[in-house]
Amino acid sequence: MKKLIQLKNLTKEYGGQVVLKGINLDIHENEFLTLLGPSGCGKTTTLRIIGGFEEKSGGDVLFDDVDISSLPPYKREINTVFQKYALFPHMNVFQNIAFGLNLKKIDHSIVEQKVTKTLKLVGLSGFEKRAIDQLSGGQQQRVAIARALINEPKVLLLDEPLGALDLKLRKEMQLELKKIQKEVGITFIYVTHDQEEALTMSDTIVIMNDGMIQQIGSPTDIYNEPENRFVAQFIGDSNIVEGVMLKDYLVKFDGQEFDCVDYGFDDNEEVDVVLRPEDLDIVELGQGKMSGEVETIIFKGVHYEITVRCENRHYLIHTTDYVEVGKKVDLNFYPEDIHVMYKMGTY
């Protein structure tokens, strides 16, 4: 896929405070890319610099290989869906959506046609004459998306657009956004702090923390092969254990040596090891790799969340099988369930 936007060593300072510490990122055509991270990690700032609402302090922003950092927002082929929608309260749905086209002095009949088509795309056919304050949050959200998409931008920026919606609606909109993105076939850059949202929708996830990119990868890569402790903790639940990589395919933690599938570390390098709770199995005593005692069990609907106290630490396990508190059990896992990561700071 062709590179559409390239961020090269992008930095941003606010009054002496560095919020972006050199972002390098390639965003491709037709990609659903999510900037994911805790609040204050710099994801929104990155988005606003791409949109033209914020000036960079250093580095380059290339769009189709052309530097756009000095272009004002109204000259960029990029449209934005704002966090609180930012719909114009003095205009109805039609006028809001037609705003961009009317500025371009496009013929009224064509505008009308396009608005109808776009409203259909976002599932709001027949809402043309509604006032904005007559719409629910979800409907306003759809109008905001329609208003941006109708201009046929090459890139759509979305700044936590689902944050104000309730859980059920949010899940619906996640699927819908993904569907819309496939239908219109343009690049979406999506900002969120919700890891589940990111996993559901994205082609590529960019995990950010403290003004730096921690990892770039597909949802499965990010989940299965987190590159450091931060990523592992931020995405899903995990057991993170300090260990030593004795040599390729052999790691030692909790006083035992385990076969694994990781390689390429220095011999005897100190590492962090991730064991996902759903990869750990509870088996009868003597049949697993580690022994312990069941300490708590919480019913979570689909699965039980169990903590097992082992010799060195507590392990978190997700399983659909019930075990009694206090029972002595073994934990079992396979070499491919062990994910070895570089220690934070050495990455």
Partner 1 sequence: MKQYKKLVIPYIGWLLLFTLLPMLMIALYAFTDGTGEGGAMMFSFTLSNFTKFFDPVFVKVLFKSFVLGVITTVICLALGYPVAYLISKCKERTQTLLILLITIPTWINMLIRTYAWISILGSNGIINNMLSAVNLPPATLLYTDFAVVLGMVYNFLPFMILPIHTALTKMDPSLNEAAMDLGATPLQTFWKVTFRLSLSGVLTGITMVFLPSISTFMIPKLLGGGQYALIGNFIEQQFIQIGDWSFGSAVSMILAVIVILMMAGVSKIEKYTGQDQEETHSDKKSKILN
Closest of 210, 231, 233 to residue 221, by C-alpha? 231
Q: Shortest distance, CB of residue 34 to partner 1, whole angstroms? A: 20
- To partner 1, the closest distance from the beta carbon of 95 in angstroms equals 5
Mark residues 39-78: x for contact with partner 1 by CB under 8 A, - for none.
Answer: ------------xxx------------------xxx---x
Looking at residue 143, its amino acid is: V
**Residue 86 sits in the site that holds partner 1 (CB under 8 A):** yes
Pairing of strands 32-36, 17-28: unpaired
The least distance separating partner 1 from the CB of residue 79, rounded to whole angstroms, comes to 6
Nearest alpha carbon to residue 6 among 54, 53, 68, 58: 68
Tell me which residue of 201, 126, 196, 89 sits closest to 156, measured CA to CA.
201
Only segment of 79-87, 162-170, 313-321, 329-337 that touches partner 1 (CB under 8 A): 79-87
Report if residue 98 touches partner 1, rule: CB under 8 A: yes
Binding track over 122-161 against partner 1, x by CB under 8 A: ------xx-----------------xx--x----------
Residue 292 binds partner 1 (CB under 8 A): no
Smallest gap, in angstroms, from Cβ of residue 259 to partner 1?
54
Residue from 89, 255, 264, 345 touching partner 1 (CB under 8 A): that is 89
Cα 308 from Cα 330, distance rounded (Å) = 9
The full 3-state SS of 250-288, as one line of letters, equals EEEECCEEEECCCCCCCCCEEEEEEECHHHCEEECCCCC
Structure tokens at 100: 């961009």
Distance CA 233, CA 243 (A): 17
Contact residues toward partner 1 (CB under 8 A) are 51-53, 72-74, 78-80, 82-84, 86-92, 94-95, 98-100, 103-104, 108, 128-129, 147-148, 151
